[in-house]
Amino acid sequence: MILIVRINVTAFFMMLLALPSMAMAAVTYADVKPILRERCEGCHQAGEIGPMAFGTFRQTRPWAKAIRQAVMERTMPPWHADEETSRRIRNSRALTGSEIEAIVKWVDGGAVEGSALKAVAAAARPTGWQLGKPDLVIRVPGYKVPAQGTVQYTFLVTPTNFTGDRWIAAAEWKIDQRAVVHHMNAFVRPPGSSYLKTAPVNQLYVATKDERLARRDDEKEVDRRELLIGYEPGYQPAPWGEGRAKLIRKGSDVVFEIHYTANGADVEDYSELGIYFAKQTPKERVLSLAPADSKLAIPPHHARYPSSARATFTRDVKLISMQPHMHLRGKDFDIRATYADGRTDALLRVPRYDFRWQTTYFLAEPIVMSRGSSMDFLAHFDNSANNKFNPDPSKTVYWGDQSWEEMNIGFIEVAFPAEADGNVAVLSDTSKPAPGTASGKLVGR
């Protein structure tokens, strides 16, 4: 009892002491500029995806109230994993509590400029290849992105013409029109795969639904397609790590999946993917896996439909990255590990999934998944009218790659000894159909 009173009294006096200094030290633009520069300008500058630039006080001031709201509600910077699981992620964009506080205080104090700040150059933008001259470059052959309107997902299939299997030490995106490229994924399509099999090569292509979903019944999961590398705003090229490489088999094609968004001006995009061959056989192979629940069947008006998939490792691997993938009805996404010894671990929690951001979450330190460990990919979908992005709450929604259809994929990258084959995990969907509905039929991925 006494102790509690003492603490309260001490806290009270400390508060009194702090008050005058808090009132005097008005937060000015000069105080928040470093935060804006570090955390916002990567996107909020001319030529980037952010709709306005925050380079100078005059550019920023009209947005003060919107900035306050966006940082308080944590809608900006775009970052969707929760605080706890973000701590293990190296590319987290989340603001710290004190950064948010500084911005809020600045706006509440009138968003003043304070002592004139010398012009600071905008955050440096990368030009040219960051990892040096690539051994192979695949280039988008000019896509005309309109000033307005929705642009369909666009594909580009490019044969590698490799005469033998090749180890790839790194791949890098060099994005041309950064203001309109919302995301790009490059997949490796091995020779046996039926993914986009009927698409023409070396030309940009809007595939039909049947083409995108076609899949041979006997096609093994590992033969399907592998995510080589993704791009999204804020992307930093990074090799997979010393002694690690991905394997592209002889006869494989590289398939770009491109999501452009109109940004007010007609532009033509010539983005490039650079591929760097490994100088020697790597110690570890990096493989991207895609556990998925393709049997999902989301009933009409269901506000929190659960869907789950699992990867169970059949040999020791190291987990490097995770990328949850859902569409318009995606609500939240959890990735959990159950280690071979029974311990469980929350690897990634995305409480407010946003389909507009296809974020790859890179672990700062790889996590060992020993043989017998598993990862569960738990998605929820909101097919109710309360979901403002829902195109039609009265429909049962099945697997499909159009935005009005749904997907639950948990792309992951794992590393394991290079001499091992790629069958390192068993992938399964673990959903139970919602009461009163038939499970969706497997229509391919």
Interface residues toward ligand HEC, by CB under 6 A: 39-40, 42-44, 49-51, 63, 66-67, 70-71, 75-78, 93, 95, 233-234, 356
Of 40 and 275, the one with the shorter C-beta distance to ligand HEC is 40
* DSSP-assigned letter for residue 279: S
Instruction: Write out the two tokens for 189.
Output: 């399509």
SS3 211: helix
Least Å distance, CB 239 to ligand HEC, is 22
Least Å distance, CB 103 to ligand HEC, is 7
Which residues make Cβ contacts (< 8 Å) with residue 221, sequence separation at least 6?
Answer: 289, 290, 427
Alpha-carbon gap, residue 126 to 192, rounded angstroms: 37
Exposed e or buried b for every residue in 155-182, given b needs 16+ CB within 10 A? Answer: bbbbebeeeeebbbbbbbbbbbbbbbbb
Of 77 and 230, the one with the shorter C-beta distance to ligand HEC is 77
Of 68 and 445, the one with the shorter C-beta distance to ligand HEC is 68
Least Å distance, CB 300 to ligand HEC, is 28
Of 42 and 291, the one with the shorter C-beta distance to ligand HEC is 42
Least Å distance, CB 267 to ligand HEC, is 16
Alpha-carbon gap, residue 170 to 30, rounded angstroms: 39
Least Å distance, CB 231 to ligand HEC, is 12
What's the angle, vertex CA 291, arms to CA 187 and CA 282, rounded to 5? 55
Least Å distance, CB 105 to ligand HEC, is 14
Of 51 and 351, the one with the shorter C-beta distance to ligand HEC is 51
Of 71 and 424, the one with the shorter C-beta distance to ligand HEC is 71
Partners of residue 256 on adjacent β-strands: 156, 186
Of 237, 236, 214, 234, give the one whose Cα is nearest residue 224: 214
Of 62 and 191, the one with the shorter C-beta distance to ligand HEC is 62
Type of residue found at 119? A
Least Å distance, CB 408 to ligand HEC, is 23
- What are the CA-CA distances from residue 113 to residues 57, 66, 106, 349, 400 (Å)? 7, 17, 9, 38, 50
Of 174 and 310, the one with the shorter C-beta distance to ligand HEC is 174
Other Cβ atoms closer than 10 A to 345: 15
Least Å distance, CB 271 to ligand HEC, is 17
Of 144 and 356, the one with the shorter C-beta distance to ligand HEC is 356
Alpha-carbon gap, residue 81 to 391, rounded angstroms: 25
Least Å distance, CB 70 to ligand HEC, is 4
Least Å distance, CB 184 to ligand HEC, is 15
Q: How many alpha carbons fall within 13 Å on the CB side of residue 47? A: 10
CB 386 within 8 A of CB 356: no
Alpha-carbon gap, residue 82 to 351, rounded angstroms: 7
Q: Pseudo-torsion of CA 334, 335, 340, 344, nearest 10°?
A: -40
Q: Which residue reads 């792309």 in tokens?
A: 411
The total number of residues shown for the chain amounts to 445
Alpha-carbon gap, residue 362 to 272, rounded angstroms: 22
Of 53 and 255, the one with the shorter C-beta distance to ligand HEC is 53
